[in-house]
Amino acid sequence: MARDAADYVDCFTFLADAGCRFGQALKVRWTDIDWELQPGVVGVKFWRKGDQKGVRIRTIPCSARVVEILKRRRSLKGPGPFDGLRRGRGNQLWNLAKARTELKGEAERVPHCLRHTCATRLLARTGDLKLIQEWLGHTKIETTASIYAKVLVETKVRALRELEDYQT
């Protein structure tokens, strides 16, 4: 049975905000959700051996829009928020959407890019490479640095402008 595209939009939003891999999102179970990570903060734990590329267990705080998705999807009664969704169908819908946009010629634009979207946004806002390493679950900081070095340069240039503005 084909799922509604809105289910996959929820999953893609989760990927963009949680920074996890597609396969990890599909395997999240309700027992992985910590509804009180801290007061007013919901978290999701990524821990399953074999699902983690670097085998790093991590708990990620959820954005407000992810919390809304989780609350809405909890009523679906499956073992997890994305139960029943399939990677193949997600890729099919992704490609259909991509074909209707200016990204149609961008073969490398795949759902995994949403993981990079999350990391790039976090790095641009915080400048904290160690935070990004831990958020993504990279074993080595060098992996994180090599992927996001361009963002670091842009952040430093922006910081220079702020410094110059401060000096005038």
Report domain extents, the chain. 1-111, 112-168
- What confidence category does residue 1 fall into, taking pLDDT thresholds of 50, 70 and 90? very low
Phi, psi dihedrals of residue 45, rounded to the nearest 5°:
-100, 130
What are the backbone angles phi and psi of residue 49, rounded to the nearest 5°?
-60, 135
Q: Is 116 a catalytic residue?
A: no
Eight-class DSSP state of 3: P
Q: What percent of the chain has pLDDT over 70?
A: 89
pLDDT bracket for residue 2 (50, 70, 90): very low
Catalytic site includes residue 140: no
The pLDDT tens digits for 21-47 are 999 999 999 999 999 999 999 999 998
- pLDDT at position 50, please? 58
At 65, list the tokens. 């829009």
Confidence (pLDDT) at 28: 96
Residue pair 123/152 in contact by the 8 Å Cβ criterion: yes
CA distance 157 to 151: 10
- Token pair belonging to 130: 């160690």
Helix axes 64-74, 5-18, angle to 10 degrees: 140
Over 90: is that where the pLDDT of 103 sits?
Answer: no
Task: Report the distance separating Cα 104 and Cα 106, nearest Å.
Answer: 6
Indicate if 109 belongs to the active site: no
Note the pLDDT of residue 124: 84
Cβ-contact 148, 120 below 8 angstroms: yes
Q: Of the residues 65, 71, 86, 112, which is catalytic?
A: 112
The string of pLDDT tens digits covering residues 129-158 is: 999 999 999 989 998 988 887 777 777 788
Q: Which fold has domain 1-111?
A: Topoisomerase I; Chain A, domain 3 (3.90.15)
Q: Is the pLDDT of residue 53 over 70?
A: no
| Catalytic residue status for 77 | no
The two structure tokens encoding residue 6: 């809105």
The overall average pLDDT reported for the chain is 87
Residue 117 confidence (pLDDT) above 50: yes
Token pair of 82 as six digits: 């994305």
Higher per-residue pLDDT: 47 or 107: 47
Active site residue 21: yes
Catalytic status, residue 148: yes
- Average pLDDT in the 85-114 region? 81
Tell me the pLDDT band of 165, cut-offs 50, 70 and 90.
confident
